[in-house]
C-alpha cells in the first residue's frame, strides 16, 4: 500500500513516524479540534434502520430491546443459545459460515450507538426513513461483488487468491471499517488519530489500515491539489481542511476494487465528505455525507460518535494468521484432483 504524500511545501517536513510515536497532543490552533488519541466506534447500530423501528432516536429502554434482537455475525438475536458455543453446522449449510463465531471472538459493542447523548437506531439521519436511497437503475462504472453466499455457506469460487474478498485476502478491513464512511463492525473497532500541521493520520485497528490525509488552508487549495484520476488508491483521494471547529475530509476516486465490495459505493463522479468535531472530552462527533447521482436518488447523511477507548491497542496480524487462505486453496486443488480421478476421495 502506497503512503499518500502531500505536494512539497517549503520549510515544512512531515515527521510521520515521530508523530505516530509521540503521545503529546497537538496545540489548539484557532478552529482546529484536537482529535488525537485512541478511540472506538463500537455499537450494535447498523447503517440502515431495522424494520419495525420508526424513529431515529430511541429511549434507553428501547435501545436495549433493539440491541438484544440485533443479529450478530448473521445470527438472529445474538451469537448462541446462552452457552457461549455455537453448534457446528453441516458443510454447505445455510449457516455454515456465520457459525464460525462465538462470544470469544467478537466485540461489536453491547448497545446502540450513543450520539450526543441520544441512542440512535441507524447511522443514517437523512433521509428520515433511515434507509439508503439507492437508485432502481444505478449507473455503476464498476461491477458490484456480493460475497454474502460465500460467507454464509462456504460454497464459492476458490480458483485463486483473487476470487476471495478483500478482507479475506487481508487487503482491507471488512464492514467499511476504514471508510471513507467509517463504521463499527464485528470486532477491532479501535482507531488512533494523529494530527500534525500538514496531515491527519487515522490508523484503523483492523488490518492496520492507515489513512494519511493532507490538510490544506482552504477547500479551494485542497481540491486543486488532488491526485490524477489514474491513481486509484485504497480509501480514495482524500484532502482535508479545518472549518468552524471541524476537520473536513473530502474523498473521491476510491479504488474500484474497494468500491465493488463496499457498503457505501460511489463512482468516479461521486464523493464522500466527512466531518469530525469534539462534542465532549471523551466524544468525537462524526458525520459523513454521500453524494453520487449515478448510484443514489439523493445525497444522504450518516452520523455516529467515537469515544475515548477503554481498551488498549492490539496487533492485528492478518497476513501472519491467515491460514484459511492456503487451506481453502489447497482443499480446492485436492477436490479438483479427485474430480479428475487423480486422487481417491
Q: What is the structure's pLDDT at 87?
A: 56
Total Cβ atoms within 10 A of residue 67 = 20
With a CB cutoff of 8 Å and minimum separation 6, the contacts of 299 are: 289, 290, 291
Q: Is 230 helix (H, G, I), strand (E, B) or coil?
A: coil
CA distances from 2 to 22, 79, 100, 135, 230 (A): 23, 38, 33, 34, 14
- Spatial distance between the Cα atoms of 22 and 18, rounded to a whole number of angstroms: 6
Q: What is the rounded distance in angstroms from the CA atom of residue 226 to the CA atom of residue 7?
A: 10
Region 149-171 average pLDDT:
90
Name the least confident of 161-170, 179-188, 306-315: 306-315
Element (H, E) at 308: strand 300-308
Angle at 303 between CA 301 and CA 308, to 5 degrees: 155
The predicted structure's pLDDT at residue 179 = 95
**What is the structure's pLDDT at 113?**
98
Assess contact for 235 and 258: CB atoms under 8 A. yes
Is 6 part of any domain?
A: no
173 within a domain of the structure (yes/no): yes
* pLDDT of 91 strictly over 80: no
What pLDDT score was predicted for residue 209? 93
The per-residue DSSP string of 10-30 comes to: TT----HHHHHH--PPPPP-T
Q: Render pLDDT for 242-290 as a digit per residue (tens, 0 to 9).
A: 999 999 999 999 999 999 999 999 999 999 999 999 999 999 999 999 9
Q: Would you say residue 268 lies in a domain? A: yes
Compute the distance between CA of residue 199 and CA of residue 79 in angstroms, rounded to an integer: 40
**Residue 20 in this model has a pLDDT that exceeds 70:** no
Residue 344 has pLDDT above 60, yes or no: yes
Flag whether pLDDT at 90 surpasses 50.
Answer: yes
> Tell me, what's the pLDDT at 7?
44
**Which residue segment(s) compose the domain that 264 sits in?**
137-345
Q: Look at residue 261 in the predicted model and tell me its pLDDT.
A: 92
Helix %, strand %, coil % of the chain (to 5): 15, 25, 60
Task: Tell me the residue ranges of DSSP E strands in the chain.
Answer: 37-40, 57-58, 113-115, 118-120, 124-126, 190-195, 199-204, 210-216, 237-243, 246-252, 271-280, 283-291, 300-308
Q: What local confidence, expressed as pLDDT, does residue 33 receive?
A: 96
Give yes or no for residue 5 having a pLDDT over 80: no
Residue 316 CA to residue 211 CA, distance in Å, equals 16
In a domain, 199, yes or no: yes
Cα 2 to the center of its chain, rounded Å: 19
Say whether pLDDT at 6 is over 70.
no
Question: Does residue 5 form part of some domain?
Answer: no
For residue 27, is it within any domain?
no
Q: Decide: 232 and 256 in contact? Cβ < 8 Å.
A: yes
Tell me what the pLDDT averaged over the chain comes to.
Answer: 86
C-alpha grid cell, residue 36: 488525537
Contacts of 223 (CB under 8 A, 6+ apart): 239, 250
Q: Does residue 39 lie within any of the structural domains?
A: no
3-class DSSP assignment, residue 304? strand
The string of pLDDT tens digits covering residues 168-182 is 999 999 999 999 999
Greater confidence, 88 or 231? 231
Cβ contacts of 29 within 8 Å, gap of 6 or more:
none
Segment 291-311, tens digit of pLDDT: 999 999 999 999 999 999 987
CA 280, CA 64: separation in Å to the nearest integer? 24
CB 308 within 8 Å of CB 39: yes
Q: What is the pLDDT of residue 1?
A: 38
Residue 74: pLDDT band (50, 70, 90) is low
Residue 185 — φ and ψ, nearest 5°? -150, -160
**pLDDT at residue 172 in the model:** 94
pLDDT of residue 151: 79
> Is omega for the bond preceding 209 within 30 degrees of 0, making it cis?
no
pLDDT at res. 142: 77
Give the pLDDT of residue 276.
Answer: 98
Q: Please tell me the predicted confidence (pLDDT) of residue 29.
A: 52
Distance CA 293, CA 300 (A): 11
Categorize the per-residue pLDDT at 26 as very low, low, confident or very high, splitting at 50, 70 and 90.
very low
In a domain, 296, yes or no: yes
pLDDT for 13 equals 34
Contact present, 241 and 219 (Cβ < 8 Å): yes
d(CA 271, CA 181): 11
User: What is the domain count for the chain?
Assistant: 1
Amino acid at each position: 500500500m502506497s503512503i499518500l504524500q502531500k505536494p512539497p511545501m517549503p520549510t515544512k517536513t512531515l515527521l510521520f513516524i515521530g508523530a505516530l510515536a509521540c503521545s503529546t497532543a497537538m496545540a489548539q490552533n484557532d478552529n482546529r479540534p484536537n482529535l488525537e488519541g485512541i478511540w472506538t466506534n463500537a455499537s450494535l447500530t447498523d447503517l440502515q434502520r431495522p424494520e419495525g423501528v420508526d424513529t431515529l432516536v430511541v429511549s434507553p429502554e428501547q435501545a436495549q430491546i433493539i440491541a438484544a434482537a440485533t443479529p450478530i455475525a448473521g445470527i438472529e438475536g445474538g451469537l448462541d443459545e446462552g452457552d457461549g458455543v455455537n453448534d457446528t453446522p453441516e458443510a454447505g449449510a445455510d449457516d455454515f459460515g456465520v457459525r464460525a463465531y462465538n462470544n470469544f471472538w467478537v466485540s461489536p459493542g453491547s448497545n446502540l450507538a450513543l450520539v450526543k447523548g441520544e441512542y440512535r437506531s441507524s447511522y443514517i439521519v437523512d433521509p428520515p426513513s433511515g434507509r439508503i436511497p439507492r437508485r432502481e437503475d444505478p449507473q455503476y462504472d464498476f461491477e458490484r461483488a456480493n460475497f454474502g453466499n460465500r460467507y454464509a455457506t462456504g460454497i464459492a469460487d476458490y480458483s485463486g487468491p483473487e476470487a476471495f474478498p478483500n478482507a479475506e485476502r487481508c487487503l482491507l478491513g471488512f464492514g467499511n471499517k476504514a471508510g471513507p464512511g467509517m463504521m463499527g463492525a464485528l470486532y477491532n473497532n479501535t482507531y488512533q488519530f494523529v494530527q500534525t500541521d500538514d496531515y491527519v493520520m487515522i490508523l484503523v485497528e483492523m488490518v492496520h489500515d492507515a489513512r494519511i490525509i493532507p490538510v490544506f488552508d482552504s477547500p479551494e487549495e485542497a481540491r486543486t491539489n488532488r491526485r490524477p484520476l489514474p491513481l486509484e488508491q485504497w480509501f480514495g483521494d482524500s484532502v482535508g481542511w479545518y472549518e468552524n471547529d471541524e476537520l473536513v475530509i473530502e474523498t473521491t476516486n476510491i479504488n474500484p476494487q474497494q468500491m465493488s465490495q463496499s457498503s457505501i459505493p460511489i463512482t468516479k463522479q461521486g464523493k464522500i465528505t466527512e466531518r469530525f468535531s469534539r462534542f465532549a472530552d471523551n466524544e468525537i462527533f462524526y458525520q459523513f455525507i454521500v453524494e453520487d447521482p449515478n448510484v443514489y436518488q439523493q445525497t444522504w447523511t450518516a452520523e455516529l460518535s467515537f469515544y475515548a477507548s477503554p481498551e488498549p491497542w492490539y496487533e492485528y496480524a492478518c497476513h501472519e494468521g491467515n491460514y484459511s487462505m492456503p487451506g481453502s486453496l489447497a482443499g480446492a486443488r485436492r477436490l479438483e484432483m479427485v474430480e479428475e480421478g487423480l486422487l481417491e476421495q
